[in-house]
Amino acid sequence: MIREHFEFRQTIATILADDPRHIEAAKSGMLAARQEVERQITRDPYFAATLEPYIPKIPERTPDRMARAAAVAGIGPMAAVAGAIAWAGVEAMVEDGAAFALIDNGGDIALVSGREVKIGIYAGASPLSGRIAFLIPPQNEILGICTSSATVGPSISFGTADAVTVFSPDVAVADAWATAICNRITADDTSVLDALTGTGVSGVLAVIGDAVIRWGDLPPVVRARVDERLITAGSDWQYYGRS
């Protein structure tokens, strides 16, 4: 397996693949998606600034995915940017023939894998941080696994959760809802999860201190020792009001 760190402006990602050409496909896909988002922001600066749902007429795929996913979650389009760009990168890898493709864009992951994959959970100061992981079964279709935190990283968050991880086949949806849930969920109030039915979210795991909250269909959670050196720090447009 090849692991390559990739940075371009705000994009800070880790790419995993079995073939060097798929690494290059991932970079091309992410850069093309970034260009779409940049063009949208140039046309409409409000797209990047708003923290509220906003679905203008958008001619390009990536910003349209972002706006639609975030609107359902009740937040601004940029809440879905990292997941949407990771998604575009993995799509490009698959189009290039990859059977194994994974992009971690600052904690927002898109993947396809013909084999089992273990993905660790980093949750800041929580005593569970780095001690548990998801055991992801083989995935023939793209899966989004996106994490938001109110206690880790520089992005704006209105919540208190150490980590909220959301699963969805729509990676932009997973990213948007990770932010939205993290903004609202507490150990005593999980009512935000009541809104998830029919959104495309398949499962949620939230870590708040030593509390673990589960919703929906989740892969097995196993004991692990997460190597913090493998964590991809940062994310796309991290200062534009997303978490």
Q: In the prediction, which pLDDT does 157 show? A: 54
Q: Would you identify the CATH topology of the domain 2-228? A: T-fold (3.10.520)
Q: In the prediction, which pLDDT does 196 show? A: 97
Q: Residue 122: pLDDT above 80?
A: no
Q: Residue 70: pLDDT above 90?
A: yes
pLDDT digit string (tens) for 213-230? 999 999 998 887 766 665
Mean pLDDT for the stretch of residues 29-41: 97
Distance CA 154, CA 157 (A): 9
For the chain, the domains span: 2-228
pLDDT digit string (tens) for 164-183? 999 999 999 999 999 999 99
Angle at alpha carbon of residue 168, lines to 115 and 190, rounded to 5°: 125
Sign of CA dihedral 74, 79, 85, 86: negative
Task: Find, among 174, 82, 182, 162, the residue nearest to 121 by Cα.
Answer: 162
